[in-house]
Chains A and B, each alone.
Chain A
Amino acid sequence: MKISLDWLSEYFDADIPASQIIQALERIGLMVEGREEKEGDVILEIETYSNRPDTLGHLGMARELAAALGLSLKERRWPLSELSTRTADLVDVQIWDDNLCPRYCGALVKGVKVGPSPAWLRKRIESMGLNSINNVVDITNYVLFSTSQPIHAFDLGKVGGAKVIIRRAKKGERLLCLDGTDLTLAPDMLVIADETKPIALAGVIGGQESAVTETTTDVFIESATFDPVSVRKTRKAVGLQTDASYRFERGADIGFAPQAAVMAASLLTAFGGRVCEVPVDVCPLPLKKKGVVLRHRRITDLLGVEVDPDFIQRTFRALGFDIESKQPGIWQVRVPTWRVDIEREADLIEEAARFFGYDNIPAVVPPLQVVDPIPDKIRQTSRQIRPLLFHYGFNEVIDFSFSDAERESLWTTGLEPIEIRNPISIRTSLLRTTLLGGLVETAAWNRNRGLDAIQIFEIGKVYFREEQGFKERLSLGMLSTGMRDEPHWRTGRREADFYALKGTCEALLRQLRYEPFSFERADRPFFEPGSCLALALKEDKLGCLGRVAERIRAALDLKQPVWAAEIDLDLLFGKQPRPFAYQPVAKYPSIIRDVSLLVPRDVAYQDIRQAVEKLRLPILEDVRLIDRYSGESVPQDRISLLFRFVYRHLRKTLLAEEVERAEQQILSQLKRNFGVQLREGGQIDNRTGKN
């Protein structure tokens, strides 16, 4: 809201320095956001609040300032040069919908000479950033920016039948607005109509046909109160926001409507206008002043400081409230009509606090207290993952949750994306169904800036539409491309690859004890064929990992191979982790046997491992693949896998025969199932180092 200090001074007898005004207003929460000097005037841009329409005019600001500084407002008089004709004899005002229009006041000014505004008026209008139009229009704006009550001027000569009817629009009725918009009206819109047609859209904008022009002589001033919700819905439906609708949708001062009409009429007498007797005031419902009880104890309880009761009484009186002490510490407060924000005691306490000054309320740290924790298991578990991923060299990124049709069709996740109804741009019109889209784009961004080692992850929501409605699920996305770290003389150049990423997935599940998990070959449209594994826990698929499809990389001009994985954390955390149990450290030594096996190339490692585990050998403590080799000494159709078997008995030292027997069991099982052979000289007993 623009406030001209020159204009504001109309309400005060004494000159108040600008700095004092700004300081006082800011102390009560009316922050000065801009300041402009113009023709000896200072114009402030003041932040106002949607619950305080009364501050959308100079009068309202003056009231706040007066209360803050302990000054009183100057009484302003609006003398009329009156005709003996009664207004009601010349214009017939009828409210047909008193829910949407609780009060309609009107003044009729005859003999007005429409022309340019005098200098003082032009200055006022221009200080609000508007252009002066003519004396009548400028006066309506002057009243609006003075009092925050929007008023409208009709050329009575163009009001058919001199009837002013406040009613809902009829289906198909049209209105050519002042700004040139030709509107088709809907039946829920409130209009001002003459005997045949709408002449204004109530509280929003006037019609061109009934507008004041240079030939106008009889001006009918409208000063009314319209239902805020109705005005808001109408102005949204027609897409017009005006100074009037901005105020009406926040709530106009129903008590002030007649005065605003009189004020405008009085100002018009300077241009030859003579005002008809007894202005119109149609107010079908009785006006009630809201009454609220205020307890002193309650103020103390909520603010944490005792505020002097005299100060409270003084402040409310200065703000135009009636305040009476019913019994010690309890007041009956009556709210002025312009304070549409005050409904309850809490609203009054806020006023008391505002004028008491937040700076005068002490800062007290609340006493420490034992409070039951409110657990959030999903969050806690997802926080445990992050250090592990950092340890594996993955950097955390956060991407916007938005997506677009292009990205979604590139990825084809099979999930139906959720649309945003009012997106700010087409690029952000959907919500993402996968984290991988953003991760690959982030990888491309970093690659284009010369980074070689890109290991990134995001923990965030993905969103999709299901029959039962919209879903959001917590997901983990990981991506690895290029080097795994910077080249180093000791470690050489370690490149990102499938197994590095898989190892991170495995470590994560093991660390959180989500076991036993397994991987199966799978196909995803966004991964290269044959490069993808699905991750499963018991029967449920939790995610997948693989090599990002060529076409996706091509779309981002990312030339190097990219590996990525995505895991549904909501699904994962919904599972029961293996319970943790402490294992005593074994007292007896283990026997370690490295066994080199010739395995047909079509047999998967996971199958061999599961076959060994299936034997449930009690002395077999660990199985580990420690090398994999193919070459001259290995037949073409086979591969040599070097397994390390660790045997141990918890209650005694193992005998060589026991280990031998277990190993034979393993070997014959593998031979039977897969045709696996022992490699020549392939058994090494590491305890002695002898073949």
Chain B
Amino acid sequence: MKTLESRIGALKTKFDESLAGATDAGALEELRNEFLSRKRGRVTLLFEELKSLPPEEKRSFGRLVNELKAHVQKNLAVSLKGSIRIKSGAKGKLTVIEDDADRDQVDLTLPGETLPWGAPHPVMLFLEEIERIFETMGFSVAEGPEIETDYYNFEALNFPPHHPARDDWDTLYLGENLLLRTHTSPMQVRVMEKHKPPIRIIVPGKVYRREAIDPTHLPMFYQVEGLLVDEGVTFAHLKGTLDLFLKRLLGDKIGTRFRPSFFPFTEPSAEVDISCLICSGRDQACPVCGGTGWKELLGAGMINPQVLKNVNIDPERYSGWAFGLGIERAAMFCYQIADMRTFYENDLRFTRQFFLK
């Protein structure tokens, strides 16, 4: 009977060699079939052989065969990465199970599995918050072209040709009358040309300026345009909406200040400041407000009747307001980011933080 013992030993060696040569799950599955298949598996056949042995030998060899079976099972399982094995379940499903041999010694304090999860860009995340706030107020969201004509970017918005007001929007030109839009306001005109009041819409998108890159200026940044046109729309509504919006976005403690300004396409025009929560105006060296207590955040105003006329909306019947907000600037204020360039370095250690918010 020595032969049976040596055959078991040889089988173990053969198994170990095959296992060492196995490189993928398929090879392991094959190995499992070779040794454990219920019909022709080598271990299965050994158990068949045991049946014909005398009881004593049955016991001693049975132990050896059982050891071999356990060895094969254990090592097959361990070889599959992460010490799991894939087993064809009775219903034909692939099921992942805990290894039997380890069951008693599992260290439950081992860290759980992680799934890699991608994160949105902080500008988009911030933009989405803005969109959600306006969507609750019944606003649609649409986008528009970045390559614009002089007409939509300037003329229809009441910038006469050759007017110095154009200098405030440093423009990158692509052709005689083609440019990279300097603001999202051209979409005011495009939307009002196509849709009749009442209109409630916000337009997020990239805008471009001929500016050198520095910590507070970028040649490309995101803006969101807001537009509301209806009968009976007032400056008080503009104040109410923006005040509500800014409080929802930045917190109830935020104070807002509207001060007169000039934009050719709105009248009256306003610049909207938010109160500095860092120093409340008490620190002359405050990096956010410079001691004024206020941080300029957006431009707004009642739509200039001339702009309404340009899109064939009767300014005697309808009025409206519009605003434009720089996203990065708002996000910088919100998260205390000192340098605007950080957004476009796309350092994943920076961008990935924000979805924890």
Residues of A41-55 at the interface with B, using a CB-CB cut-off of 8 Å, are 49-52
Question: Does B73 touch A at the CB level, under 8 Å?
Answer: no
**Roughly how many angstroms separate A364 CA and B90 CA in the complex, as a whole number?**
67
Task: Write out the residue numbers on chain B whose beta carbons fall within 8 Å of the beta carbon of A460.
Answer: 206
Across the interface, do B305 and A346 meet the contact criterion of CB distance under 8 Å? yes
Question: Smallest Cβ distance from B56 to chain A, in angstroms?
Answer: 34
B347-A52 in contact (CB<8A) = no
Determine if B184 is an interface residue (Cβ-Cβ < 8 Å): no
Interfacial chain B residues near A605, Cβ < 8 Å: none
Q: Does A651 count as interface, using CB distance less than 8 angstroms?
A: no
Assuming the contacts A50-B164, A390-B118, A390-B119, asked whether A376 and B142 have C-beta atoms less than 8 A apart, the reply is yes
Chain B residue nearest in CB terms to A425: B212
User: Is B142 a contact partner of A374 (Cβ separation < 8 A)?
Assistant: yes
Q: Is the CB of A592 within 8 A of B92?
A: yes
Are B88 and A402 neighbours in the complex by a CB distance under 8 Å? no
* B351 adjacent to chain A (CB < 8 Å): yes
Quote the shortest CB–CB distance from A341 to chain B (angstroms): 8
CB contact list, A206-241 vs B, under 8 A: 228-229, 232-233
B155 within 8 A of partner (CB): no
Q: Give the residues in chain A near B306, CB-CB below 8 Å.
A: 344, 346
Closest B residue, CB atoms, query A341: B262
Bound Cα distance from A420 to B173, whole angstroms: 6
- Whether A362 contacts B120 by the Cβ 8 Å rule is no
Q: Is there an interface contact between A363 and B349, defined as CB atoms closer than 8 Å?
A: no
Chain B min CB distance to A156 (Å): 33
Q: How far is the CA of A374 from the CA of B94 in the complex (A)?
A: 47
- Residue B113 lies at the interface, judged by CB distance under 8 Å to chain A: yes
Residues of B within 8 A of A358 (CB): 235, 239, 258-260, 268, 270
The stretch that binds A, out of B7-15, B22-30, B47-55, is B22-30
Measured CB to CB, the closest approach of chain A to B328, in angstroms, equals: 10
Q: Which of A262-308 contact B (CB under 8 A)?
A: 301-305
Contact with B along A411-428 (1 / 0, CB 8 A): 000000011111111001
Q: Is B69 an interface residue (CB 8 A)?
A: no
B348 to A51, Cβ gap below 8 A? no
Question: Which of chain B's residues have a CB closer than 8 A to the CB of A395?
Answer: 118-119, 348, 351-352
Smallest distance from the beta carbon of B178 to chain A beta carbons, Å?
A: 6
Pick from B94, B257, B347: contact of A446, CB below 8 A: B347
Q: Is B201 an interface residue (CB 8 A)?
A: yes
Q: For A378, what are the chain B residues with a Cβ–Cβ distance below 8 Å?
A: 143
Whether B165 and A361, one on each chain, are in contact in the complex, defined by CB atoms closer than 8 angstroms, is no
Instruction: Among A49, A344, A470, point to the contact of B178 (Cβ < 8 A).
Output: A470
Q: How far is the CA of A364 from the CA of B88 in the complex (A)?
A: 67
The answer on a CB contact under 8 Å between A399 and B347 is no
A451 in the interface (beta carbon within 8 A): yes
| Pair A376/B346 contact, Cβ less than 8 Å | no
Identify B244's interface contact among A349, A365, A451, A689, CB under 8 A: A365
Chain B's nearest CB lies how many Å from the CB of A106?
27
Q: Please tell me if the beta carbons of B146 and A305 are within 8 angstroms of each other in the complex.
A: no
B-chain residues with CB within 8 Å of residue A368 when the two chains form the complex: 137-138
CA distance A350 to B270 in the complex (A): 10
Report if A691-B348 is in contact (Cβ < 8 Å); known contacts: A250-B164, A489-B110: no
Q: Does A126 contact B (CB under 8 A)?
A: no
B230 close to A369 (CB less than 8 A): yes
| With A366-B241, A397-B346, A470-B175: A344-B305 Cβ-Cβ less than 8 Å | yes
User: Any chain A CB within 8 A of the CB of B228?
Assistant: yes
How far in angstroms is the closest Cβ of chain B from A421? 4
B236 in contact with A364 (CB, 8 Å): yes
> Of the candidates B121, B191, B269, B348, which one forms a contact with A451 in the assembled complex, judged by CB atoms under 8 Å apart?
B348
Expressed in whole angstroms, the minimum distance between the Cβ of A639 and any Cβ of chain B is 11
Inter-subunit contact B146/A232 (CB<8 Å): no
Q: Does A686 contact B (CB under 8 A)?
A: yes
Determine whether A574 belongs to the interface, using a CB cutoff of 8 Å to chain B.
no
Interface string of A382-424 (1 = CB under 8 A from B): 0000100111111111111110000000000000001111111
A366 lies within 8 A of B259 (CB) = no
| Majority DSSP secondary structure for residues of B touching A | mixed
Known: A50-B165, A371-B138. A422 touches B119 (CB 8 A): no
Residue of B whose beta carbon sits closest to that of A398: B121
Cα A229 to Cα B88 in complex, Å, equals 83
Q: Report the nearest B residue to A471, measured CB to CB.
A: B147
Q: Which residue of B lies closest to A493 (CB)?
A: B81
Judge whether A324 is part of the interface by a CB distance below 8 angstroms: no
Give every chain A residue within 8 A of B90 (Cβ-Cβ).
Answer: 689
Q: If A301-B232, A470-B147, A490-B113 touch, does A29 touch B261 (CB 8 Å cutoff)?
A: yes
Contact of A453 among B92, B116, B124, B201 (CB under 8 A): B116
Q: CB of A189 within 8 A of chain B? A: no
Please report the C-alpha to C-alpha distance between residue A228 and residue B175 in the assembled complex, in whole angstroms.
25
* C-alpha gap A346/B180 in the complex (Å): 30
B199 interfacial by beta-carbon distance below 8 Å? yes
Cβ–Cβ contact B191 & A374, under 8 A: yes
Collect the chain A residues with CB atoms within 8 Å of residue B228's CB.
366
In the complex, per-residue mask of B261-273: 1 if CB is within 8 Å of any chain A CB, else 0:
1101001111100
Contact assessment for A396 and B120 in the assembled complex, using a CB-CB cutoff below 8 Å: yes
A280 to chain B, nearest CB (A): 29
**B-chain residues with CB within 8 Å of residue A386 when the two chains form the complex:** 120, 124
Residue in A250, A365, A489, A627 whose beta carbon sits within 8 Å of that of B26 in the complex: A627
Whether B239 lies near A362 (C-beta < 8 A) is yes
Q: Which of A370, A399, A424 has the most CB of B within 10 A?
A: A424
Given A349-B268, A472-B145: A396 and B124 within 8 A (CB)?
Answer: yes
Using known A-B contacts A353-B260, A424-B210, determine if residue A398 contacts B343 with beta carbons closer than 8 Å: yes
Kindly list chain A residues whose C-beta atoms are within 8 Å of the C-beta of B162.
228-229, 232-233
Complex Cα–Cα for A605 and B264 (A)? 62
Q: Is A528 an interface residue (CB 8 A)?
A: no
Cβ–Cβ contact A629 & B240, under 8 A = no
Task: Verify if A315 is at the interface (C-beta below 8 Å from B).
Answer: no
CA distance A193 to B274 in the complex (A): 54
**A49, A368, A445, A460, most chain B CB atoms within 10 A:** A49
Closest CB pairs A-B (n = 4):
A29-B260, A304-B234, A686-B92, A304-B236
Taking Cβ atoms with an 8 Å cutoff, the residues of A that contact B are 26-29, 31, 49-52, 228-229, 232-233, 249-250, 301-305, 344-347, 349-350, 353-354, 358-359, 361-366, 368-376, 378-379, 386, 389-402, 418-425, 428, 431, 442, 445-446, 449, 451, 453-457, 460-461, 463, 470, 472, 484-486, 488-492, 592, 626-629, 631-633, 640, 642, 684, 686-687, 689-691
A selection of 23 A-B contacts at a CB cut-off of 8 Å is: A26-B259, A28-B260, A29-B260, A228-B162, A304-B237, A346-B267, A353-B235, A353-B260, A354-B260, A358-B259, A362-B240, A363-B243, A364-B236, A366-B230, A366-B233, A374-B195, A393-B115, A395-B348, A397-B121, A423-B172, A454-B348, A489-B111, A629-B30
Chain B residues close to A by CB (< 8 Å): 21, 23-27, 29-30, 37-39, 81-82, 84, 88, 90-92, 94, 110-111, 113-121, 123-124, 137-138, 140-143, 145-147, 161-165, 167-168, 172-175, 178, 180, 191, 195, 198-201, 206, 208, 210-212, 218-220, 228, 230, 232-237, 239-241, 243-244, 257-262, 264, 267-271, 302, 304-306, 319, 343-349, 351-352
Q: Apart from A346-B267, A455-B116, A470-B175, what are 5 other A-B pairs with CB-CB below 8 Å?
A: A302-B234, A366-B233, A366-B241, A421-B175, A472-B147
